[in-house]
A and B are shown apart, each in its own frame.
Chain A
């Protein structure tokens, strides 16, 4: 196993997440796509950390996991409120801030 394998997997995961974030309409799925991107980054960090034998990257990914949990908590709360207001979690319809 080389570092490249991990990087390719991580790039694939990131692109999947990016696509989901930009293209999906369902807010919950957008949130999940964001998680995918975060985990792709985590994978990158851990892989580099393992191959470079430097523990900093793993510590960093732990922090990211923690913050991601908080972020999902906030994100889901927002989604819940959007659903309560408009009975839908379709992001295309949540465009009240249109200029």
Chain B
């Protein structure tokens, strides 16, 4: 399966066309095709995962099971050498010019295999979930077609062995998220949100385009393996790598919702909730982090990650953690709370990448995918059956735990995992990020991470309180959702609990590190041991966060003066308004940047359009007309007609001549025959053969 992993993205791509062309004519309106395709992809991904693990384990030697790992000392602690496990490569050249190869291919290593598993699993669950959530939707078939294409694009990106293919998948993901966010485009706000998502990520895509070009000129190749090897070799040009890494970082900022281009992500909540789950957990936003993980040596060299200094990547990640988490406090829309939480969690991943904690970043990506998908699908379940298609926690929710027990408990699991409570998945990955960041000399960012953990725990408690506790404030008849919705929740909840144990450093289980971390063309990473004091601090900080928020919401009357602080105190109110207005970033973008474009640049473009482009167009039109006239008069009339008429005339003339030989007299024919034979005989005689 590893050799033929191209099948995994190919199946949903085919399914896209099948749904588009035949979806409306079959009973399930295309949902069955999508679910089958993703199911097949998921099974194949599982096979790929199994084969990859087998490959790593057989290279390592003993087929040690998870239990056997208990007895071993830390696999990677100190300078223990690990056997080289080559990635499985398969490349088809489309065309090549001057030794530069353009083509498509697959690069299967631990990272790609891990992503295949996550993407196909979550996409499959979203497909299933959507059958209930979008029941009787007007563009149901179209929705499924786009979901399939979305998965196909992301999988193409994941398996890519060259930067061009990566870009193809990247743009495909952007396009599909645009289409899906704007799924209900009849409402102006939704289509606006879709456009915003598209244009904001496009800003980052420019960075990707330039970064890929710079990398090509530096490494003379589009091949990811060669680029990575080049970035780590001594002949690598550091300034080139710095430019490339900065440009790629811009792409990550745009795609993964990092500060200051994070504003599209909360607006992207306009799409259907399962799409939000897919975008936030497995496809769109993690594409940026995946890019960072994929071309990590470029960042390693460009940003000098190894020497412990503050760099662009770690700084952006750190800022994003805090600003995302703070914004989550002032949201009344449950999905927007989760959206800002995603921004903040992606900040953790980017910060971890910047701090040299590659394994921790990828591990957090892995665990985050499960609990974030779980939380989003939970929020969808609430709005589907609890709050009458509203996402407003303050107006339409509250007290839902009694009505929707499964949704409630799975949501609690997701919340605990997100807050980083032992033993849920988020604890292990977040803890690893913090420990590795601290050990690599990024103490300041360790503190940023801890503050982020506190904020995360607090805003999630607020969210849970507003949604599930207190009195029901809506006007519908809340009830538990149907099994199509709850079963994916339960599956994801199981993963949210267990996924962390793949790399539970406290128990000396480092499966994730040994399976996923590349061993070829990859920097030497530090893998610190589990740090009990740090883990205890982060755990207690998260617990305090939950406690403070719970105290605030459950015991409101005891707060006394603090109650309603934001309404009375000027400073607090200003801070509150600052957050509600999202740091005025949207205002900056819309009123300053967009307005200036709309004013000067738009007028300039209009002039350019009227004079230059229209001139070119009209000139082209006139030129085309003249050429057409000439073609008609000369080519058509004289050459083509002449040829046709000439053929007819030649035929007629030759027929007229030949008819004299067709006298109908047998003896005349016999005469010709004998004359010809006689002539041939004469010829033979002369030629003397």
Judging by beta carbons under 8 Å apart, are B665 and A91 in contact?
A: yes
Give chain B nearest CB distance to A17 CB in angstroms: 11
Chain A CB within 8 A of B670 CB: yes
Give chain B nearest CB distance to A24 CB in angstroms: 8
Q: Which of A67-98 contact B (CB under 8 A)?
A: 91-92, 94-98
Chain B CB within 8 A of A18 CB: yes
- What does DSSP make chain B's interface, helix, strand, loop or mixed? helix
Chain A CB within 8 A of B663 CB: yes
Interface size on B, residues (CB 8 A): 12
A22 vs B662: C-alpha distance when bound (angstroms): 16
Interface size on A, residues (CB 8 A): 13
Q: Could you say which of B658, B659, B664, B670 contacts A22, with CB atoms under 8 Å apart?
A: B670
In the complex, residue of chain B having the shortest beta-carbon distance to the beta carbon of A27: B666
A31 vs B571: C-alpha distance when bound (angstroms): 131
Q: Which of B650-684 contact A (CB under 8 A)?
A: 658-659, 661-667, 670-671, 674
In the complex, residue of chain B having the shortest beta-carbon distance to the beta carbon of A96: B664
In the complex, residue of chain A having the shortest beta-carbon distance to the beta carbon of B666: A91
Chain B CB within 8 A of A10 CB: no
- What does DSSP make chain A's interface, helix, strand, loop or mixed? loop
Judging by beta carbons under 8 Å apart, are B667 and A99 in contact?
A: no
A30 vs B649: C-alpha distance when bound (angstroms): 40
Judging by beta carbons under 8 Å apart, are A99 and B659 in contact?
A: yes
Judging by beta carbons under 8 Å apart, are B667 and A30 in contact?
A: yes
A97 vs B665: C-alpha distance when bound (angstroms): 8
Chain B CB within 8 A of A21 CB: yes
Judging by beta carbons under 8 Å apart, are A21 and B665 in contact?
A: no
Judging by beta carbons under 8 Å apart, are B667 and A98 in contact?
A: no
A21 vs B672: C-alpha distance when bound (angstroms): 12
Q: Given A22-B667, A30-B667, A91-B667, verify A98-B674 contact (CB < 8 Å).
A: no
Judging by beta carbons under 8 Å apart, are B664 and A97 in contact?
A: yes
Please, which residues of chain B bring their CB within 8 A of the CB of A91?
665-667
In the complex, residue of chain A having the shortest beta-carbon distance to the beta carbon of B660: A99
30 examples of A-B residue contacts, CB within 8 angstroms: A18-B674, A21-B667, A21-B670, A22-B667, A22-B670, A22-B671, A22-B674, A23-B667, A30-B666, A30-B667, A91-B665, A91-B666, A91-B667, A92-B665, A94-B664, A94-B666, A95-B664, A95-B665, A96-B664, A97-B662, A97-B664, A98-B662, A98-B663, A98-B665, A99-B658, A99-B659, A99-B661, A99-B662, A99-B663, A99-B664
Apart from A94-B666, A99-B661, A99-B664, 9 more pairs, CB < 8 Å: A22-B671, A95-B665, A96-B664, A97-B664, A98-B662, A98-B665, A99-B658, A99-B662, A99-B663
